[in-house]
Amino acid sequence: MFAKMIKHQLVDKDLKVSDLARLLNTSDQNISQKLKRDNFSEKEMTDIARALNLTLKITLE
């Protein structure tokens, strides 16, 4: 679910996975694999949100 939201944000901001990787100082392959698996730690989600100038809110319902 997080991966889908990030992909939408990349499209909205006219960015590519390679741009996100550059912002996170990691490889394109690393980001692509994380998006494919959709398995992120809270720190990774926070770092991605910060890189994209977003606010991360985690809620349990």
Q: Residue 38 has what pLDDT?
A: 96
For position 9, what pLDDT does the model report? Answer: 97
Structural domains in the chain? 2-51 (1.10.260)
Q: Give me the numbers of helices (H) and strands (E) for the chain, helices first please.
A: 4, 0
- On whether the CB atoms of residues 58 and 42 are closer than 8 A, the answer is yes
Asked if residue 2 has pLDDT above 90, the reply is yes
**Residues 21-60: pLDDT tens digits?**
999 999 999 999 999 999 999 999 999 999 999 999 989 8
The CA-to-CA distance between both ends of the chain, in Å, stands at: 15
